[in-house]
Structures are given as structure tokens and as C-alpha cells.
Structure 1
Amino acid sequence: MSNANPGDPLDHKGLIREAYRIEGLTLEEARSIFLDWALNLPLGQDQQAAAADLLARYGADQPDNPMSAVLEEAKTPTSRAKRRGGWRGRRPEEAS
């Protein structure tokens, strides 16, 4: 019996749905499941929007579930790291 849900474009393998069903799920396990889910998103799919949708779908009834915390984190935009180091990082900025 497969947990896949090919009709759900956001969770076609059923990973997030099943994560909410696991008793005693730890935060580390939830992060691992989330990573597997994120790596399997279709190319071009907005991860933040998908995480928000899944959180609304599954997390509303289980706000204390570790997967809810992970999805909440995932829907928050992250800042891109700035380049550091290398010869360009040590050069003074040129005037525009």
C-alpha cells in the first residue's frame, strides 16, 4: 500500500500528510521529511507558497506538531547570503 497522493500537486508523495500522522514526531525528523518533500517539488514551484498552503491544510488542527513549526519556518523568506572573501571581497568598492 502506497502513501503517494498523485492527485495532490503539493504533496504528491504524501510526505507532509503522513508526517502529521506520526506519533512522537521530533523536530529533527520533521526537518528531514520536509527536506525530502522540498527536493521533490516540481521545478519552478514556489516552496514558500506551497509550505503556507500545506500548513493551512494540515497544521490548523495540529499547531503543536513539529511539522507545523517546520512549515511555518519554511514559509518565511530568507535573506540571501552576501559574497564574502576572495580578492573581490578585499578590494575597495569602486565609485559608480
Structure 2
Amino acid sequence: MSKGDALDPKGLIYESYQIEGITKAECRSIFLDWALSLPLDTETGPTIRLMLERYGTTADQHPMTDVMREGLQGMATPQRRGGWKSRPRH
């Protein structure tokens, strides 16, 4: 486990696992910051899976592990678009 590598440029995920008593809400905020700090050409899904392999196996009950799993599920579930694009055309 390393801080500040290609998968975790700012060390945010690493640091979240070091904070005792961190909440799920705090982990969500950190996760969003982490996702936004990735290079534009990074495929988020595979990167989340790699981070789960790195941390989730030893910290299964950690709130960040839950947040990353939710992130993967959210990516796999298509979202209905709102606005004019969701309305049927006649």
C-alpha cells in the first residue's frame, strides 16, 4: 500500500483508511475528491476495482470500502436521463 501513486495521486483513499472513526459521509466526500483527481483518461471502474483489491480485502468493514463498492454498483446501473432527452418523441 502506498500513498500518492498513479491509482491514488493525492493519497486520499490511503489516508481515509488511516483515519480512526471516519464516517461514511466523510468517505463519500473523499471518494468524490479522489475520483475528480484522477487523470481524464483513467477508466474509473477498473481503478475502483484495483483500489478495492488494495484496501477492501483487509478492511472489509471500513466505510470507504462500502463507498467504493457503491461506486461500482452505481456505475453498473444505468441512470434514466432527465429533461427533454428522456421524453418520447412523436
* Smaller-chain TM-score bracket: 0.7 to 0.9
Which consecutive aligned stretches of 4+ in structure 1 deviate over 6 angstroms post-superposition?
none
For these two proteins, the number of residue pairs brought into alignment is 86
In the alignment, is residue 74 of structure 1 matched against residue 77 of structure 2?
no
Counterpart residue type for residue 79 of structure 1: P
The answer to whether the 8 A contact 1:16-1:34 is kept is yes
TM-score by length of 2: 0.83
Q: Deviations over 1:58-96 (max 9, x none)?
A: 11111000000011111222313234448x82643xxxx
| Residue of structure 1 equivalent to 2:43 | 46
Larger mean Cα displacement after TM superposition, 68-77 or 18-27: 68-77
Q: 1: CA distance between counterparts of 2:9 and 2:84?
A: 41
Q: Which has the higher contact order (CA 8 A, sep 6+)?
A: 2
Point out the structure with max Rg over C-alpha: 1
SS in 2 for 1:82: coil
- Give the unaligned 5+ runs of structure 2: none
- Give the unaligned 5+ runs of structure 1: none
Q: 2: CA distance between counterparts of 1:82 and 1:53?
A: 29
Larger mean Cα displacement after TM superposition, 43-52 or 29-38: 43-52
Larger mean Cα displacement after TM superposition, 62-71 or 73-82: 73-82
TM-score by length of 1: 0.78
Query: What is the Cα deviation at residue 45 of structure 1?
Result: 0.7
Q: Deviations over 1:20-55 (max 9, x none)?
A: 111001010000000000011101211111111001
In the alignment, is residue 89 of structure 1 matched against residue 87 of structure 2?
yes
More helix by share: 2
In the alignment, is residue 36 of structure 1 matched against residue 47 of structure 2?
no
The answer to whether the 8 A contact 1:62-1:68 is kept is yes
